[in-house]
Chain A
């Protein structure tokens, strides 16, 4: 099994891996999940820079600890290097990035072009998001596009990949072989319908799901139980998101200012009571990873450590969720 995950490269690490029957993409992330391993993913913050070295340096922090790296697409409606470019750079040296596509900035013409371009540059995974509104970011005066929404985007990816055509019907010479995913937030109203929204995304073509920050384990467990009962955990790989909080103050700011972030009071109290809040935040994150791993129907965990990226590898190691497995990383 490990041979399959650590395939010796013929030319260079950026070359596509050999096709495996039953797999959609050539990518390593799909292989890890389909092999039944508990997968770990994380997020890279695309730099405010035109320097590729900065992208490599940020990715290197996760070496040996994660199976795939999400490249955010103007997260929080703030402008950064494009996710397509970050993913192309990372794919080229062998990493397994997940291309996040937000519907906020591009219409269906631009998005479909990006999907083809990204696949041509070796990108194997894509995450369909509706995206935050422009008012949340540093260019509040920009025009919000929202031509598609996340589910329409999943339909688009699936159509291009499986039917080898654009949404207009025009034929594609080579279809983009992308492993498609989307996100879910189990904690915001209408909480009882969130599992139905999850089902809708899976019906639309999501093969993996990464969730918003999960700090409220009972709510997550309740949704996962319903998802398992509905057979959704067999249809898609579900990776709940966990995060690390730098301090009680940060946690409070996050939950009041960032849309969709739900942090229970108990977590804030625990941080407030800690002598070293940052270390306590990381301890909480490690515990959450361990707790997530025990939930039935879960295929992995998505670690979000904005501005604490350098601690991700350490936290993953400490949690033991990989059970000694070392994810692929470039040889330096």
Chain B
């Protein structure tokens, strides 16, 4: 299984990259969660900006 010989030939018209689609959907879900996480770190993780009244 480790040599690069192809078990079958698949040409352009037979190939639909569903696996790639699945991975990309997964990746975007993770990215979205990371953005949500960032929102909490950036905006809710810090104390309000101190007000200085002169």
Chains A and B form a bound pair: no
